[in-house]
Amino acid sequence: MGMLKSVKTMLGGDPVRKPNKKQYTPAARNIHAIHHDLRGKPDRVAAIRAERDMTRSNKWRNWRWASIIIINLLFVVSYQLDIQLVEGALTASRVIGFHFADLNSALQVMLAFKVILINLVIGTVTVFILWWLLGGRTFCSWVCPYHLLSEWTEKIHLKLAENNMVRDFAMSRYTRTVLYGVFALLALISGYTVFEAISPVGILSRALIYGPGLALIWVGALLLYEVFFTRRAWCRYICPIGITYGFVGAISPVHIKYTLDDCLHEGDCRNICLVPHVLEVTKKAYAQDVTETIGPDCTRCGMCVDICPTKSLTFDIKGLNKLL
């Protein structure tokens, strides 16, 4: 998928659609022909069952959970022991003397106060480079404390849905883009960082470090809404932080690579994905080439990599193979 199409999809546009035969590369066309021959036949059913019987890993999930817990504990321990190793919170901090500023928070501050502070610029550039190297929305799945809580409560939602006790009421993916503009406009007009007041990321980070407050009621309400109404509502449909880091991820060297050859298109990866629209390319006859790069809205959480035993989805670093 082209860069502009990927960004449009991230902002709420329709994900990749099934291309016509002329859009396939010759190699991809041959693989699709083989996969097409298996459609509806016992061979395909047997192959999918065999795939699902293969050992599946939780390696990347475990690494992510450890990363979120350790990074957030660094803030807590540094503050409680007053060792000044990591100061501040996730929205703005200083790590061993280096300034870090969340890109979305920095934008809100600049719009609200109509001033550009040198420390804010330094922190923003530092964070931009960091998340460009690591993959944009990596922040969401590897650092954000709300992501971890939402991931755990999602398990409750799925269990209730399995027993027909709740339904997943999907929202428009354009909602996040509209709110991105609304929060920016509110900051500009009001002179107040409105989004920071309701962002569960900042609320949880500050609560962990400095102690709980009434704002945690809002976070609890969001989690309950996700359990009973809309699966992952905040991360999928509302949080503008995802868009900010998605733009960074669009040019990041780190991404998830999809390889068509061994894929059986059974859809387990899409079922587990936080942002399943980025994996539309894994549907049968959707990939135009033998390998495809998953779009910038991908959080690089690795859940699709964990669940795919045939390694059709893997982490990849652009340009690294050329250097080896």
Whether pTM > 0.85 for this model: the answer is yes
Tens of pLDDT, residue by residue over 183-236, are 999 999 999 999 999 999 999 999 999 999 999 999 999 999 999 999 999 999
Of the listed ranges 216-220, 235-239, 318-322, the one predicted with least confidence: 318-322
Tens of pLDDT, residue by residue over 105-159, are 898 989 998 888 888 888 899 999 999 999 889 999 999 999 999 999 999 999 9
pLDDT at 323 over 50: no
Angle, vertex CA 278, rays to CA 277 and CA 284, nearest 5 = 80
pLDDT tier, 23 (very low <50, low <70, confident <90, very high otherwise)? confident
**In the chain, what are the helix, strand and coil shares in percent, each to the nearest 5?**
60, 10, 35
DSSP designation for 94: E
Pair 191, 118: CB distance under 8 Å = no
pLDDT at 14 over 90: no
Strand partners for 110: none
Domain positions in the chain are 3-54+253-323, 60-247
